[in-house]
């Protein structure tokens, strides 16, 4: 980006000066006074204990804490909590963390106007403070606010957790006149001063260590105008502790009978006429609309491929509190045991044919947002069954309705049966209803709203780790006294939200070696911001804050550039507050963010684990989990060669209008025309990937009947799309 930005520098500088003059005039300042200030030498501001001056982030805004893996804890100053109660709640939560975000919102304030087009890897960069010469890392997604004369940016690549970094600004950065910056006098004075409290002296030592590291790289001290040192937070600690607890005390084997008694809930495919999921949607069971029936399709379960469908139970540690929070210990201390274990139902679909002596291998299916275990599993189980793979699934935290849910089994050989299948939703907001995803995250508005999906997703990963161990001994599904499944051959396929929490599952659990992540993406806040499906929910979150962050007639305007975009200059009023909220949401949710876990899949496995064999499937123009968020995950995990990109834009004209949005392409089995063909092809790709133990990625375009005349599967992806891409409505 550097050469391109530098070439635009002088023109952008002139335009910026015009914007500044206009801004000053509208605010009542005399334009000539501003010109006079611009004529003076510009230098960065330096006051690391004051976030409004910075630079940020800074370890000066932390406290020493030996109980944390990083040796510190965040200590941001609180705002006026009477005037900004929502921000006050945010800061209290952030101050529990043991470091800064892996993609922090970098901020540098200046004494006068600067030219953001002069930002290059030589003028503003990050360095990793580790043994050896530090390599410069570029920044991107620039925003410049002329009012506060502050430049904001993000690292071009995700940073490593539990690692110290330096933020450096050199004289290569220019003011609007094209002149080099003047070194900050306050910064130079701080480096040379000796007095001060222990925390100040410690931060001074860190800055001087950074300057020494830069000198080894050939960056002379006199060229550095200002710098900051910060430490990134840990990410995986809780899930590693929860996994180790399951290893020390494994759950009992899964069973095919309900905990409260009753017969085996297994139904041969030949006897199944229909399945209906009766979800509890109101707390008051006597209400006429307390339940909602949803027919489940059996069309994707051909009798010649599927032997039968069963409902079983297992036990999982329950870490999630009523307010949707996981109470964690300090990261260097052992995690407290879960308050107790809870029984959870699961669905399992067996293949037809002769069972292998060791039993059928099992693929765990992770369903998407708003769904439940039956719908997704039944749509993919048929193709997997044809390849001799059983399919199992568990309902996600907060999904599936209330605890009085039932599965109505319509049979050809008898009267309908009811099987108790409690959902995992709860009424959090007290309105008497149990919405489709109520219970996955804290209610909004509320003091824990910024936690978002983080802890609900981590609880789901714990549930999946417990499920994998509950299947270890093999499971007698049909009741003939012989195990039908293998406990040592478990793979994973997750769709949408299932791909998101599935990334965490695959990264943390050594029992999983092979997995397919279909249309995943992150961070969650970025998914919500870019998705026309979830953006209205983000609007409600911003509206519910005190004070409200809505800043536009149609909701909110954040003025955030995408990766590789030119700088945003003079963002709209209120946009910086929205940007700050989004950055904090990403920071606080990072422990449950798939982008943060992607590096552990293959590039840098967690201690004691082998690299996982993983396949990423996503579609061009996805409007639910937009392409830039999937590209971020692929890039963070260095998984470009393990990615299959479906060019849905090449077939959208031949599918029904209601299927023009590609997000659900994997599960559209049985859909007419190209949509159904693509679903079968994508599921076949999953099955063959599992059969090869993750070694081979089948390309449907090379088959006898490719999905379209023009190749539609890029394997590996020719490039990672960093724009929302194809618009299905056009």
Paired tokens of 81: 């909590």
pLDDT at position 709 is 62
| Confidence (pLDDT) at 657 | 84
CB atoms within 10 A of CB 198: 8
Does residue 514 contact residue 693 with C-beta atoms inside 8 Å? Answer: yes
The residue assigned the tokens 């299905």 is 728
CA 233 – CA 70 distance, rounded (Å): 7
What is the C-alpha to C-alpha distance for residues 723 and 728, in angstroms, rounded to an integer? 14
Per-residue confidence (pLDDT) for residue 194, from 0 to 100: 84
pLDDT at 725: 61
Instruction: Give 354-385 as a DSSP string.
Output: PPPTT-EEEEEEEP-TT--HHHHHHHHHHHHH
Which residue in 381, 375, 430 sits closest to 399, CA to CA?
Answer: 375
Q: What are phi and psi of 211, to 5 degrees?
A: -60, -40
Question: DSSP string covering 247-295, please?
Answer: HHSPPPPPBSS-TT-----EEEGGGEEEEEEEEE-BS-TTSTTSEEEEE
pLDDT of residue 651: 85
- Helix, strand, or coil (residue 17): helix
Q: Where are the beta strands (DSSP E) in 422-480?
A: none
Give 1-55 pLDDT, tens digit per residue: 333 333 334 334 433 333 333 333 333 333 323 444 445 689 999 999 999 899 9
Backbone dihedral angles phi then psi of residue 157, each to the nearest 5 degrees: -125, 155
3-state SS assignment for residue 464: helix
Q: How many residues does the chain have?
A: 730
Residues of the chain short of pLDDT 70, as ranges, are 1-40, 133, 703-709, 725-730
CA distance 416 to 258: 18
* Distance in angstroms (rounded) separating the CA atoms of residues 260 and 283: 22
The angle, 0 to 180 degrees and rounded to 10, between the axes of the packed helices 9-26 and 31-39 is 140
Return the pLDDT at 135: 84
Q: What is the dihedral of CA 348, 353, 358, 363, to 10 degrees?
A: -30
Q: Is it true that the peptide bond before 434 is cis, omega within 30 degrees of 0?
A: no
Taking the C-alpha atoms of residue 90 and residue 92, their distance in angstroms, rounded to an integer, is 5
pLDDT (tens digit, 9 = 90+) per residue, 651-705? Answer: 877 888 888 899 999 999 989 888 999 999 999 999 999 999 999 999 998 865 5
């Amino acid at each position: 980006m550097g050469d391109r930005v530098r070439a635009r520098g002088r023109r952008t500088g002139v335009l910026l000066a015009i914007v500044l003059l206009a801004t000053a005039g509208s605010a009542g300042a005399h334009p000539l006074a501003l010109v006079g200030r611009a004529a003076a030498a510009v230098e960065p501001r330096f006051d690391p204990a004051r976030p409004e001056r910075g630079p940020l982030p800074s370890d000066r805004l932390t406290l020493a804490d030996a109980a944390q893996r990083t040796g510190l804890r965040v200590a941001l100053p609180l705002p006026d909590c009477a005037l900004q109660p929502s921000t006050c709640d945010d800061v209290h939560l952030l101050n529990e963390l043991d470091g800064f975000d892996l993609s922090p919102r970098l901020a540098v304030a200046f004494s006068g106007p600067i030219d953001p087009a002069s930002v290059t890897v030589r003028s503003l960069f990050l360095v990793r403070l580790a043994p050896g010469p530090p390599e410069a890392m570029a920044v991107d997604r620039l925003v410049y606010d002329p009012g506060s004369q502050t430049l904001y940016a993000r690292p071009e690549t995700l940073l490593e957790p539990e690692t110290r970094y330096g933020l450096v600004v050199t004289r290569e950065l220019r003011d609007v006149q094209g002149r080099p910056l003047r070194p900050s006098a306050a910064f130079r004075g701080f480096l040379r001063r000796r007095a001060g409290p222990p925390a100040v002296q410690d931060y001074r030592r860190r800055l001087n260590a950074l300057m020494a590291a830069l000198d080894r790289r050939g960056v002379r001290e006199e060229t550095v105008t200002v710098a900051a040192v910060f430490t990134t937070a840990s990410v995986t600690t809780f899930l590693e502790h929860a996994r180790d607890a399951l290893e020390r005390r494994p759950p009992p084997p899964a069973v095919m009978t309900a905990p409260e008694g009753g017969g085996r809930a297994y139904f041969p495919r030949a006897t199944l006429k229909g399945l209906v999921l009766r979800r509890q949607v109101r707390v008051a069971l006597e209400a006429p609309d307390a339940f909602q029936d949803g027919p489940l399709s059996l069309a994707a379960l051909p009798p010649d491929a599927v032997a039968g469908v069963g409902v079983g139970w297992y036990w999982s540690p329950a870490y999630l509190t009523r307010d949707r929070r996981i109470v964690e210990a300090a990261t260097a201390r052992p995690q407290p045991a879960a308050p107790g274990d809870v029984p959870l139902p699961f669905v399992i679909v067996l293949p037809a044919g002769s069972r292998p002596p060791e039993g059928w291998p099992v693929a765990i299916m992770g369903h998407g947002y708003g769904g439940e275990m039956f719908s997704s599993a039944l749509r993919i189980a048929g193709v997997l069954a044809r390849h001799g793979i059983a399919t199992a699934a568990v309902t996600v935290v907060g999904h599936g309705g209330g605890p009085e849910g039932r599965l109505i089994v319509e049979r050809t050989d008898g009267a309908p049966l009811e099987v108790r299948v409690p959902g995992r939703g709860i009424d959090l907001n007290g309105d008497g209803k149990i919405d489709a995803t109520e219970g996955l995250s804290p209610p909004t508005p509320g003091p824990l709203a910024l936690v978002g999906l983080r802890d609900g997703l981590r609880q789901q990963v714990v549930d999946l780790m417990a499920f994998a161990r509950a299947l270890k001994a093999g499971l007698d599904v049909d009741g003939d006294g012989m195990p039908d499944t293998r406990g040592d051959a478990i793979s994973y396929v997750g769709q949408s939200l299932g791909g998101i929490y599935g990334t965490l599952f695959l990264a943390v659990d050594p029992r999983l070696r092979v997995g397919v992540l279909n249309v995943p993406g992150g961070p969650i806040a970025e998914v919500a911001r870019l998705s026309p499906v979830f953006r209205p929910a983000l609007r409600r979150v911003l509206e519910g804050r005190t004070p409200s962050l809505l800043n536009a007639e149609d909701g909110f305007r954040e003025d955030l550039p995408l990766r590789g975009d030119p700088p945003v200059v003079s963002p709209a009023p209120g946009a910086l507050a929205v940007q700050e909220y989004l950055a904090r949401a990403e920071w606080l949710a990072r422990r449950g963010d798939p982008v943060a876990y992607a590096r552990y899949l293959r590039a840098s496995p967690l201690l004691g684990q082998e690299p996982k064999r993983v396949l990423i499937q996503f579609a061009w123009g996805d409007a639910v989990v937009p392409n830039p968020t999937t590209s971020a995950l692929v890039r963070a995990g260095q998984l470009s060669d393990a990615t299959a990109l479906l060019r849905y834009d090449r077939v959208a004209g031949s599918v029904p209008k209601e299927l023009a949005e590609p997000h659900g392409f994997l599960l559209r089995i049985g859909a007419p025309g190209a949509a159904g063909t693509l679903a079968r092809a994508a599921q076949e790709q999953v099955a063959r990937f599992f059969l090869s133990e993750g070694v081979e990625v089948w390309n449907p375009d090379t088959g006898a009947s490719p999905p379209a005349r023009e190749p539609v599967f890029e394997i590996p992806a020719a490039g990672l799309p960093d724009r929302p891409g194809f618009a299905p409505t056009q």
